[in-house]
Amino acid sequence: MIETSTPTVIQLPHIFDSLGSLGIIQGAELLPFQVNRVYFIHSVSEGAVRGSHAHKKLQQLIFAASGSFDLILNDGEKSLEFQLHDPTIAVQVPRGYWRTLHNFSADAVCMVLASTAYDESDYIRDYDEFLRWRKS
């Protein structure tokens, strides 16, 4: 059985003042991994479902910088669902979770901080293969 840690909801520090809000993601005390890549998803087609894959090693921090979407994380046995709509709340996604993102609002911006550079060989894109990998 593949060992993974548990997805965690993280409160992102913000400075709120009369000018607006400034969010900060900094330091090992906030994130258990070093950030080596940042990417973001926006202008999502209406009704689109993104993700539908797992990563063998990659760790990520995911949050809605704008708008809203739902993130489902599945460990091969049970699912956790997160409704992301607040830029001060992020989900830390450990390796080894099948993720699905859906219900994107038209203005949604999904920010992803990732532990490694893009590597297609780290993806598992077939759910049955994912189940076999989790049991291995």
Interaction site with ligand TYD (CB under 6 A):
37, 39, 41, 50-51, 118
- Joined together, the tokens standing for residue 127 give 């759910």
Measured from the Cβ of residue 110, the count of other Cβ atoms closer than 10 Å reads 23
Q: Which is nearer to ligand TYD, 15 or 64 (CB)?
A: 64
Q: Look up residue 40 and give its two tokens.
A: 């973001």
Smallest CA-to-CA distance from 75 within 111, 127, 112 is with 127
Q: Minimum Å distance from CB 40 to ligand TYD? A: 10
Spell 52-72 as b/e; 16+ CB within 10 A means b: ebbbeebbbbbbbeebebebb
For the CB of residue 89, give the shortest distance to ligand TYD in the complex, in Å: 20
State which residue, 113 or 134, has the beta carbon closest to ligand TYD: 113
Q: Which is nearer to ligand TYD, 16 or 118 (CB)?
A: 118
- Going by C-alpha positions, the residue among 72, 126, 79, 124 that lies closest to residue 102 is 72
Q: How far is the CB of 122 from ligand TYD (least distance, A)?
A: 10
Please state the separation of Cα 67 from the chain's center in Å. 15
Q: Which of 42, 53, 85, 102 is catalytic?
A: 53
Respond yes or no: is residue 42 known to be catalytic.
no
Catalytic residues: 53
